[in-house]
């Protein structure tokens, strides 16, 4: 209701321009009991059902920072809605309103969890299933130098290469899918991974299909050979590192900016001047806290 209070709700603006695409991105959505309630990523994730699936055995559910509801279920889903509406407009000539709720977006992202319930992938308690840290072959393991390796050897042929790289004999081990043996196998794998450095394990599994990769830190990710070859990370003119825009389009790839991020309010004055405001008017807007003008670096 914030935009309605300003007289800028979709009903008014769509009357002015019927081709307008109006995206409304919220946590709980435009309607319902919680529509006007405060919340954050963890709350939206909780109501979507996804949070109940995240976490290790005998531990509380945990939210993976604020990526799933805020950015994936919210931002990406909203952007996809805008793209869909733009495409539809080429046929109808009409705009529409997009209700992008982070709760519904996160829930829809988890469709795989819902649709695969009868496949035996999620029929055990949290932290005891194939992809939620229950399986010894889908887990992270600490190395002797305090770093980690990620293991995702689900398919039998990949699992066999994992076992070989660990120096084990599959003939002397329980079946890969023997759930009751998973806790012991995790301990065995952990003790073996702890005997070598991350670099040593990378060398052992390099060129194999064991689905074993290093867990890279932000400091290491740009120098990793594969990422370097793909130019997956870029530096701006302040030597600050960030991911290159994705996905990569063949004909019209995104052209990233190599300039530093603007400070909050850095360009307020020049933009308002471009739109015809006088310096006196801009000063009054600033003193009335209508706009922000400053050189303080953003905390985002």
pLDDT tens string 176-224: 999 999 999 999 999 999 999 999 999 999 999 999 999 999 999 999 9
CATH topology of domain 138-215: formyl-coa transferase, domain 3 (3.30.1540)
Radius of gyration of the chain (CA): 25
* Sequence ranges of the chain with CATH classification 3.40.50.10540: 2-119
Q: What is the pLDDT of residues 158-169, one digit of tens each?
A: 999 999 999 999
- Dist CA 129 CA 113 (whole Å): 12
Q: List the catalytic residue out of 41, 58, 70, 237.
A: 70
Task: Supply the pTM of this predicted model.
Answer: 0.88
Please list, in sequence order, all residues whose beta carbon lies within 8 angstroms of the beta carbon of residue 166, skipping any fewer than 6 positions away. 189, 192, 193
pLDDT at residue number 295: 64
Strands 212-214 and 148-152 turn out to be: antiparallel
Specify the CATH number for 2-119; select among 3.40.50.10540, 1.10.8.60, 3.40.50.300, 3.40.50.150: 3.40.50.10540
Of residues 1 and 16, the one with the higher pLDDT is 16
70 is catalytic: yes
Check 40, 206, 209, 267 and give the catalytic one: 40
CATH 3.30.1540.10 in the chain is located at 138-215
Copy the structure tokens of residue 217.
Answer: 């830190």
- Average pLDDT over the chain reads 95
Tens-place pLDDT, residues 80-135? 999 999 999 999 999 999 999 999 999 999 999 999 988 877 888 999 999 999 99
8-34 per-position pLDDT tens digit: 999 999 999 999 999 999 999 999 999
Pairing state between β 97-101 and 212-214: unpaired
Asked whether residue 300 carries a pLDDT value surpassing 60, the answer given is no
Q: Residue range 267-282: average pLDDT?
A: 95
How would you label 226-246 residue by residue, b for 16+ Cβ within 10 Å and e otherwise?
ebeeeeebeeeeeeeeeeeee
Give the tens place of pLDDT for each residue, 32-47.
999 999 999 999 999 9
């Amino acid at each position: 209701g914030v935009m309605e209070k300003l007289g800028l709700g979709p009903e008014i603006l769509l009357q002015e321009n019927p081709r307008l695409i109006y995206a409304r991105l919220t946590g709980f959505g435009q309607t319902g009991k919680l529509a006007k309630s405060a919340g954050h990523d963890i709350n939206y994730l909780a109501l979507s059902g996804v949070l109940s699936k995240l976490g290790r055995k005998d531990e509380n559910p945990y939210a993976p920072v604020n990526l799933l509801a805020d950015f994936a279920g919210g931002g990406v889903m909203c952007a996809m809605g805008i793209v869909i509406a733009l495409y539809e407009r080429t046929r109808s000539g009409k705009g529409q309103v997009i209700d992008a709720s982070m709760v519904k977006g996160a829930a829809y992202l988890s469709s795989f969890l819902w649709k695969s319930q009868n496949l035996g992938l999620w029929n055990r308690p949290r932290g005891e299933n194939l992809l939620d840290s229950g399986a010894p072959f889908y887990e992270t393991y600490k190395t002797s130098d305090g770093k980690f390796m990620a293991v995702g050897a689900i398919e039998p042929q990949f699992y066999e290469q994992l076992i070989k790289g660990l120096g084990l004999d599959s003939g002397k081990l329980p079946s890969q899918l023997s759930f009751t043996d998973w806790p012991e196998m995790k301990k065995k794998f952990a003790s073996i991974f702890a005997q070598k450095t991350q670099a040593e394990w990378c060398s052992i599994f390099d060129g194999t299909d064991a689905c074993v990769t290093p867990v890279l830190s932000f400091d290491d990710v740009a120098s990793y050979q594969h990422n370097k070859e793909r130019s997956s990370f870029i530096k701006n003119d302040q030597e600050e590192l960030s991911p290159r825009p994705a996905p990569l389009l063949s004909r019209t790839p995104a052209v990233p900016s190599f300039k530093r991020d603007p400070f909050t309010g850095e360009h307020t004055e020049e933009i308002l001047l471009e739109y015809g405001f006088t310096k006196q008017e801009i000063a009054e807007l600033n003193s009335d806290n209508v706009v922000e003008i400053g050189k303080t670096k953003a905390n985002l």
